[in-house]
Amino acid sequence: MLPTTRHTRKGLYRISDVARETGVPVGTIKFYIREGLLPGPTLKTGRNMAYYDRGFIDRIRCIRELQQKRLLPLGLIKAIMDGDTDVISPREVATLLSLEGKFYEAVHYGPDPVPVPRSEVRERFGLDDESLELCIELGVLCPKLREQTELFEGDDILVLESLAAMRQAGFHDGLIPIRAALPAYVQALDGLARQELRLFTRGVSGNVEDGRAAELALAGVRIVEQFILLVRRKRLLQALHELRSEQWKDSTGTDD
């Protein structure tokens, strides 16, 4: 069996080697570096030539574990890996890790969808390369690298189908640019996710057993998701009412 990496310098890896070792595309690795989730290169020998040690690979695998299996937002993952106790305490980290990724139960309505290669995304879902790269940079999509091919699997396919459905409904990029809308959604949801996890972990740490914590997490997700949908609907209606009131005041020149 041939080795999976090419070691140009002993004990060090090129970024392409890191991608092969971890199954994480180069573009995603560079995004992690920009966001401070990963350190800079161990050795830089030129403008476009850098090398990384084994710890870099281990850290990427840890990031993916926390992101995909435990469903934690990147901001919280960074705090955990940096040991930032102002954001989350060691006891709270232990509570989160004890949940074993049980924030969501597996729901299967049929066979898992067949993985979609990145090269087929534009044709199948109508998403151009620039928009696709934005989704990956924001963590909305997390492709996996298998045998030199970037693939989208599981929930990523559902996300792509949702984006395609929005365009089919008339929300094309000329109407609402994805580069303006998507970051706003991700920023708002990331902030909400951090607050939810902070409240949950601080509430259950030391107060309930691990098994009960997992049950509470799963029940909370179901209930809160419905609550969020209802509150969002109310806030949209309230915002519409306020907008109409402002327009009426402008047209009449009165505050009465």
Domain assignment present for residue 53? The answer is: yes
Nearest CA to 71 out of 36, 110, 109, 104 is that of 104
- Indicate if 35 and 94 belong to the same structural domain: no
Specify whether the CB–CB gap between 61 and 22 falls below 8 A. Answer: yes
Q: What is the pTM assigned to this prediction? A: 0.64
Give the CATH number of the domain where residue 60 resides.
Answer: 1.10.1660.10
Q: Which pLDDT does position 34 carry in this prediction?
A: 86
Find the mean pLDDT for residues 161-179. 90
- Indicate if 100 and 61 belong to the same structural domain: no
- Indicate if 180 and 140 belong to the same structural domain: yes
Domain boundary among 69, 97, 125: 69
Domain boundary among 19, 44, 69: 69
Domain boundary among 18, 42, 69: 69
Q: Which pLDDT does position 62 carry in this prediction?
A: 86
Q: Which pLDDT does position 100 carry in this prediction?
A: 56
- Indicate if 100 and 51 belong to the same structural domain: no
- Indicate if 135 and 175 belong to the same structural domain: yes
- Indicate if 90 and 193 belong to the same structural domain: yes
Q: Which residue has the higher pLDDT, 20 or 7?
A: 20
How many domains, the chain? 2
Domain assignment present for residue 78? The answer is: no
Sign of the four-CA dihedral 202, 204, 206, 210: negative
For 150-217, the DSSP string reads: EEE-THHHHHHHHHHHHHHTT--TTTS-HHHHHHHHHHHHHHHHHHHHHHHHHHHTTTS-HHHHHHHH
Domain assignment present for residue 110? The answer is: yes
109-128 burial: b if 16+ Cβ within 10 Å, else e: eeeeeebbebeebeeebebe
- Alpha-carbon gap, residue 67 to 241, rounded angstroms: 38
- Alpha-carbon gap, residue 213 to 217, rounded angstroms: 6
Q: Is the pLDDT of residue 81 over 70?
A: yes
Range of the domain at 5: 1-69
Q: Which pLDDT does position 196 carry in this prediction?
A: 82
116-120, 158-162, 212-216, 246-250: least confident range: 246-250
Find the mean pLDDT for residues 234-251. 83
The DSSP letter of residue 108 is -
- Indicate if 59 and 112 belong to the same structural domain: no
Domain assignment present for residue 76? The answer is: no
Domain assignment present for residue 77? The answer is: no
Distant-in-sequence contacts of 167-170, Cβ < 8 A, 24+ apart: 167/126
**Residue 12 CA neighbour count, 13 Å, CB half:** 13
Domain assignment present for residue 15? The answer is: yes
- Indicate if 116 and 197 belong to the same structural domain: yes
88-92, 169-173, 199-203, 233-237: least confident range: 88-92
CA distances from 256 to 246, 247, 248, 251 (A): 11, 13, 10, 12
